[in-house]
Amino acid sequence: EGVVVAPCDGEIVVMPRTGHAVALRSPEGVEVLIHVGLDTVELGGQGFTVHARPGDKVKRGDRLLTFDREFIRGQGKQLVTPVVITNMADKVERLVKYPDRADGVILEVTVK
């Protein structure tokens, strides 16, 4: 739908001016990076609108950024959107992936 929402409560730690990605840290210290599309940094922010800034406290479901899917595709960019836990070895005891859950949950993390 062209909207990236916070996957958990936390604090925004990185939001590039280009708006193509966002990283946040949960209260338990789990760091999550969401990167919209492939090579989308090359768009220089065109097609993206930022709704949060580094240091902002967010709640699960808060809108972090929006993007124009058709514009991005029209620029020859793919909309594959990796969601990466960047400190998994330090903080995550167990990870369960849910590729097809109807409620939009994509993974569950058990913190060490």
Annotated active-site residue 51? The verdict is no
Q: Which amino acid is at 52?
A: A
Nearest-5° Cα angle at 36, 57 to 30: 40
Q: Which of 19, 20, 30, 35 is catalytic?
A: 35
- Cα dihedral sign for 32, 63, 46, 99? positive
Catalytic residues: 35
